[in-house]
Amino acid sequence: MISQTLYRARVPILILVFAGLWKINMLHPYPVIFLLLNKLGLASTSAIRLSYTLLMGFYIAGLWLRISGSSILGSETVWGGMPRARALETRGIYGSIRHPIHLGSMLILLSLAPMNSPVSAGIILFFAIPFIFFLANHEDQFLLKHFPEFEKYRKNVPGFIPNSHPLRTFLHPFDENEGANLSSGIRSEFLNISFLGGFSGFILKGNTQAFWEGFASGIILTTFMYFLFKRRLSVRNH
């Protein structure tokens, strides 16, 4: 009962966590990556930008995994209150790993942790990441209860580390023959994609105004991408 309540409230819980992180970061503005580089005597503008760029690589990889899963499941399933499934989904990226969305979330969190204050980074590592593992385990138990074939699927397909063809795993959002609907994935990850623009602006100019300008540009570009792929799918179906 408690696990079901926590799962149902996962989105509000994570929103509250990030609101708390924002407040903590306002009180302790120096991020872990800056403190580390400063300790090593490498806290130049170019080194900081390079570090942020490398971290954004993890963010993009995590976002791509979330899009891969969302393009198969749809945003209603991804953001719904409780696990839901009419059938055990093994198409696309789910043929390589069982929890691409949760793995993507962890990569995103790991990319953001060094950009936060030490206290906030600790909360991400010791609360948010374990909470993601809890959500994945809860979904496994749900699928095991409702789909007997899940036991065999779980033995053959790892939860987080692809057992084969890791590169092909990242190409699934474009594989419509595997049931992927990229417009659905973009809709599900709309804000996460838009934030890429914000982070890009911050890396280039290093100020909050650039972040919000980039975020606004990201919203416009993501909206265009969504309708482009939605129209493409509509034309293909007709």
Cβ–Cβ under 8 Å, residues 104 and 136 = no
- Closest Cα to residue 101, out of 17, 199, 12, 185? 185
Pick the range with the lowest mean pLDDT from 4-18, 40-54, 97-111: 4-18
- Residue 132 pLDDT exceeds 90: yes
pLDDT at 96: 87
- Residue 163 pLDDT exceeds 90: no
d(CA 45, CA 7): 41
pLDDT at 19: 84
Would you give the end-to-end CA distance of the chain in angstroms?
46
Distances (CA, A) of 26 to 115, 125, 192, 200, 228: 13, 19, 22, 21, 38
- Arithmetic mean of pLDDT, 96-120: 91
Rg for the chain, CA atoms, rounded:
19
pLDDT at 4: 75
Residue 111, Cβ density class (10 Å: 0-12 exposed, 13-18 middle, ≥19 buried)? buried
d(CA 93, CA 169): 6
Residue 123 CA, distance from chain mean position? 17
pLDDT at 83: 57
Q: Which residue has the tokens 């309708």?
A: 227
- Residue 166 pLDDT exceeds 60: no
Q: Convert the pLDDT of each residue in 39-84 to its tens digit.
A: 998 878 888 888 888 999 999 999 999 988 888 887 655 555 555 6
Pick the range with the lowest mean pLDDT from 2-6, 24-28, 88-92, 96-100: 2-6
DSSP state of 98: S
Average pLDDT, the chain: 82
Triad 91, 140, 56: Cα angle to 5°: 70
pLDDT at 104: 94
Q: Under CATH, what is the fold of the domain 2-175?
A: Four Helix Bundle (Hemerythrin (Met), subunit A) (1.20.120)
Pick the range with the lowest mean pLDDT from 41-45, 120-124, 129-133: 41-45
Triad 104, 107, 109: Cα angle to 5°: 110
Side-chain-side CA neighbours of residue 175 (13 Å): 15
pLDDT at 172: 57
* Token code pair at residue 165: 């063809």
**pTM score, two decimals?**
0.85
Residue with more model confidence, 98 or 215 = 98
* Token code pair at residue 190: 């709309």
Cβ–Cβ under 8 Å, residues 101 and 66 = yes
- Arithmetic mean of pLDDT, 136-157: 91
d(CA 172, CA 16): 32
- Arithmetic mean of pLDDT, 135-150: 90
The C-alpha torsion from 220 through 226 and 228 to 233, rounded to 10°, is 180
